[in-house]
Amino acid sequence: MIEVSGITKEFGRFTAVNGLSFSVAKGEVLGFLGPNGAGKTTTMRILTGFIPATRGTAVVAGHDILSEPLQAKRKIGYLPESPPLYPEMTVFDYLEFVSRIKDVPRERRKARITESLEKCSLTDVRDKLLGKLSRGYRQRVGLAQALVHEPEVLILDEPTAGLDPKQINETRALIRSLGGDHTVVLSTHILPEVVMTCDRVAILNKGSVVAQGTTQSLIDQFRQAEHLQVTVEGPEPEVLNPLRSQDGVMAAEPAQSLSREGNVQTYRLSVAPGEPGENVRRELAARLVRAGYGLLDLHQEGTTLEEVYLRVVSSEEPGEVP
């Protein structure tokens, strides 16, 4: 549905996007993740035909955005970073205007507007002036505007920015429900958002994709050593012995004391790479119980997307990353 190959965007000497390539399948939700200035907004502006790429091609819904801009734009719904609203218009008039310039046929306009209003929970404010709406409502009108012509492709630049937690959840649920019917590209710098809403993630840094794949595959790909957390009741020096001598455990350190007396203690163990974590856990549990210590908790620390993200974003030229 979206086919981007080798797009580069230069502003004078500054290269905002550098040879970016990716593709998004029909019905998929792709999340752009990256620090500020990574090129997320520029990439989206190129995809929507707002600015042309210096080099490279972007094909959206079968139409090249540069050579067939009108056909492509008809199939794109776009929510820019700040919703493009006219403060003097009412919500309804605004959506009516947008539906006209997006070529929604006259007979379908009313139904389309009503549906967008409902999807974005805006029916109550349809006659209010855009200039009088709160930040959250403005963002939702921006979303309704992107949906009004039933585009095949939705491009959402930080769709949850500035919303309160309840609205964030509603918006994520809405985006989730849009996937399938629509192909969605969204950008964010909130990691849990990507996990919750996206099928696939592309991590951008300094204008290039530094990692991409499903959330799980990224985690797998970037998993280094596994870590275990064990909480044991017993005197610390004694307990450390069986932990350290366990096969497959490279190191064990006391992490956190849970009781005032100091005899309930959490330890953090590093498991050697290649060692199946479950074997280590099974043997370790048996060993601790046999030795008569109270085993209160034993679990594997999950590698989170956050760790992957931080590693990927700060791996190249550390110190320059904002």
Partner 1 sequence: MGNVWALARREVQSYFASPVAYVVLGLFALIFGFLFYAYLEGFISRGMGQGFGGAPEIQNLNQDMLRWLLGDTAWLLLFVIPLLTMRSFAEEIRSGTIELLLTSPLTDFQIVLGKFLGALFLYVSMLALTFLHMAVLFFFGDPEWKALLTGYLGVLLFGSALISLGLVFSSLTRNQIVAAVITLGAFLFLGFFQSAENWAGAAASFITYLSATQHLEEFTKGVVDGRDVIYYLSFIGLGLFLSKQSLESLRWRG
Q: Which residues bind partner 1 (CB under 8 A)?
A: 11, 45, 48-52, 69-71, 73-74, 76, 78, 80, 82, 84-89, 93, 97-98, 100-103, 145
Give the span between the Cα atoms of 107 and 116, in whole angstroms: 16
Nearer to partner 1 (CB atom), residue 11 or residue 110: 11
Residue of 135, 146, 220 lying closest to 186 (CA atoms):
146
Nearer to partner 1 (CB atom), residue 36 or residue 259: 36
CB of 88 to partner 1, least distance (A): 4
Nearer to partner 1 (CB atom), residue 86 or residue 216: 86
CB of 70 to partner 1, least distance (A): 5
Nearer to partner 1 (CB atom), residue 85 or residue 178: 85
CB of 185 to partner 1, least distance (A): 14
For 109-146, give one letter per residue: b (16+ CB within 10 A) or e.
Answer: beebbeebbebbebeebbeebbeebeebbbbbbbbbbb
DSSP, residue by residue, 202-227: EEEETTEEEEEEEHHHHHHHH--SEE
Nearer to partner 1 (CB atom), residue 74 or residue 126: 74
Q: Are 312 and 205 in contact (CB under 8 A)?
A: yes
Give the span between the Cα atoms of 46 and 151, in whole angstroms: 17
CB of 50 to partner 1, least distance (A): 5
Nearer to partner 1 (CB atom), residue 122 or residue 305: 122
CB of 149 to partner 1, least distance (A): 9
Q: Are 210 and 312 in contact (CB under 8 A)?
A: yes
The two three-digit tokens of residue 136, written as one number: 């959250």
Give the span between the Cα atoms of 214 and 202, in whole angstroms: 9
End-to-end CA distance of the chain: 33
The two three-digit tokens of residue 4, written as one number: 């981007």
Nearer to partner 1 (CB atom), residue 138 or residue 172: 138
CB of 187 to partner 1, least distance (A): 15
Task: Give the three-state DSSP class for 57.
Answer: strand
CB of 87 to partner 1, least distance (A): 8
Give the span between the Cα atoms of 209 and 19, in whole angstroms: 9
How many of the other CB atoms lie within 10 Å of CB of 249?
21
Nearer to partner 1 (CB atom), residue 161 or residue 196: 161
CB of 61 to partner 1, least distance (A): 12
